[in-house]
């Protein structure tokens, strides 16, 4: 088994990359170029097998990609609000993937594991992690889309333009998740 990558190795890789890097536009330059600023935000998992730049064949700077454990939207909601003030966003694409680590524990199990290490920290008792062991992958996507559609701080038209998918890490394919506006 190969050794895990080190930060020093990543820095060396960057040095090689930088010699071939094509400069990207500053935000202030979008109006002067034939490129449009990103209008779609992709929210997906931090899992290293879930790389939307690859499975969506993204070209920079077509989209904004936000990654969080499980691809859950609540932990990055403030980021979405900020980006909506900065960019002309038109839609949010939520993608959860098969074999996700969030499907292996419940929030209660995650709290218990933390309590084992940090027994005196009371804040752990109220922490939510967005785990979905007791649910399904599709339901986790539906819950996130409904959260966006019902969020009072998010522009209504952006929330309504939120769509969800599952990504299969074995096949590489996306499957749309149909979401009605009722829980």
| 47 known member of a binding site | yes
Q: Does residue 56 contact residue 127 with C-beta atoms inside 8 Å?
A: no
| 97 known member of a binding site | yes
Tokens of 2: 């190969």
* CA count, 13 A, side-chain hemisphere, 62: 8
Distance, C-alpha 58 to centroid of its chain:
15
**Rounded Cα–Cα distance for residues 25 and 34 (Å):** 11
| 125 known member of a binding site | no
**Rounded Cα–Cα distance for residues 96 and 98 (Å):** 7
Which of helix, strand or coil describes residue 91? strand
**Rounded Cα–Cα distance for residues 95 and 44 (Å):** 5
Tokens of 113: 């594991």
| 99 known member of a binding site | no
Indicate the pairing of strand 91-97 with strand 40-45.
parallel
Known binding residues for Zn(2+) are 45, 47, 97, 100
Known binding residues are 45, 47, 97, 100
């Amino acid at each position: 088994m190969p050794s895990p990558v080190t930060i020093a190795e990543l820095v060396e890789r960057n040095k090689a990359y930088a010699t071939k890097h094509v400069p990207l536009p500053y935000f202030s330059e979008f109006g002067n170029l034939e490129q449009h600023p990103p209008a779609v935000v992709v929210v997906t998992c931090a899992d290293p097998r879930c790389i939307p730049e690859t499975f969506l064949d993204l070209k920079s700077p077509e989209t904004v990609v936000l990654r969080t454990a499980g691809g859950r939207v609540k932990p990055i909601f403030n980021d979405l609000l900020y980006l909506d003030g900065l960019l002309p966003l038109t839609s949010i694409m939520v993608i959860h993937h098969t074999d996700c680590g969030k499907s292996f524990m419940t929030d209660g199990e995650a709290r218990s594991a933390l309590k084992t290490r940090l027994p005196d920290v009371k804040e752990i008792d109220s922490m939510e992690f967005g785990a979905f062991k007791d649910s399904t992958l599709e339901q986790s996507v539906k819950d996130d889309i409904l959260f966006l559609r019902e969020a009072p701080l998010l522009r209504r038209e952006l929330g309504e333009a939120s769509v969800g998918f599952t990504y299969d890490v074995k096949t590489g394919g996306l499957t749309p998740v149909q979401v009605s506006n009722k829980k």
